[in-house]
């Protein structure tokens, strides 16, 4: 299965690969060069397909847990001052997504969306310390019975040129449902209450909607 955000790009890539392969057959006489061009085009198509894949998963939702919003690797676990919404100290857990990861963003908890805002910005590499404040990003806050308010932030990386955010203020959302998509490399930060029990470690690989980030 493929995510709906990829349908247009997949179609364009498929048309280009077929068209360029036909041209290679017509205009390139050398069989080795022609074969190399066609194989390269097929590999490019496969990379596009894998980027927009939407694997089926059995989500185990739990109101007393915060799930990872995305697939990737944990790159930050620290206490920070969150100044956009809370204006106080929070525990930040950041997950970096490489281009080969599934790039669907999921709601880490169920509840009511109380804040959703897009910020234009730069395209620093996603692991840059200033990327969470200076890069293109969206910030979403979900009010949850168990944890209070949970903030998660989609951050564009050096390759990501479009962030898609589905969250609307006053919308009731389910844990692990799609909240958006980031195209071609990025990062997601989750901001938790200071008393949350972190269940992941630095450099741990996580899966969106599956891996438990924190518990009460």
pLDDT at 127: 57
pLDDT at 51: 79
pLDDT at 204: 98
Phi-psi map region of 133: left, alpha, beta (phi>0 left; psi -120 to 50 alpha): alpha
Q: Catalytic annotation on 69?
A: no
pLDDT at 203: 96
Domain boundaries, the chain: 4-51, 65-215
* Catalytic residue, candidates 68, 69, 179, 186: 186
Tell me which of 3.30.9, 3.30.70, 2.70.70, 2.60.40 is the CATH number of domain 65-215: 2.70.70
pLDDT beneath 70, residues of the chain = 122-134, 158-161, 184-185
Kindly report each contact of residues 20-29 with a partner whose C-beta sits within 8 Å and lies 24 or more positions away, as own/partner.
Answer: none
Which whole-number Å values give the CA distances from 159 to 2, 3, 29, 98, 184, in the listed order?
Answer: 20, 19, 35, 10, 5
H helices within 96-188, ranges in order? Answer: 131-134
pLDDT at 96: 92
pLDDT at 100: 83
Cα separation, 188 vs 137, in Å, equals 9
Helix crossing, 31-51 with 7-27: angle to 10°?
A: 180
């Amino acid at each position: 299965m493929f995510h709906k955000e990829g349908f247009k790009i997949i179609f364009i890539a498929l048309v280009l690969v077929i068209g360029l392969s036909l041209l290679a057959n017509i205009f390139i006489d050398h069989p080795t060069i022609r074969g190399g061009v066609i194989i390269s085009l097929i590999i490019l198509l496969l990379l596009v397909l894998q980027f927009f894949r939407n694997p089926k998963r059995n989500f185990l939702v739990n109101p007393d847990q915060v799930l990872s919003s995305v697939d990737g690797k944990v790159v930050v676990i620290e206490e920070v001052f969150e100044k956009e919404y809370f204006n106080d100290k929070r525990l930040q857990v950041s997950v970096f997504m490489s281009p080969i990861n599934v790039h669907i963003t999921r709601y880490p908890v169920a509840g009511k969306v109380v804040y959703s805002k897009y910020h234009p910005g730069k395209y620093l590499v996603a692991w840059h310390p200033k990327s969470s404040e200076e890069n293109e990003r969206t910030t979403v806050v979900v009010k949850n019975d168990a944890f209070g308010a949970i903030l998660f932030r989609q951050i564009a990386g050096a390759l990501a040129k479009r962030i898609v955010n589905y969250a609307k203020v006053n919308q009731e959302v389910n844990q692990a449902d799609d909240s958006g998509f980031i195209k071609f490399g990025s990062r997601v930060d989750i901001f938790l209450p200071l008393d949350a029990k972190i269940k992941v470690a630095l450099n741990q690989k996580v899966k969106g909607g599956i891996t438990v980030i924190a518990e009460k």
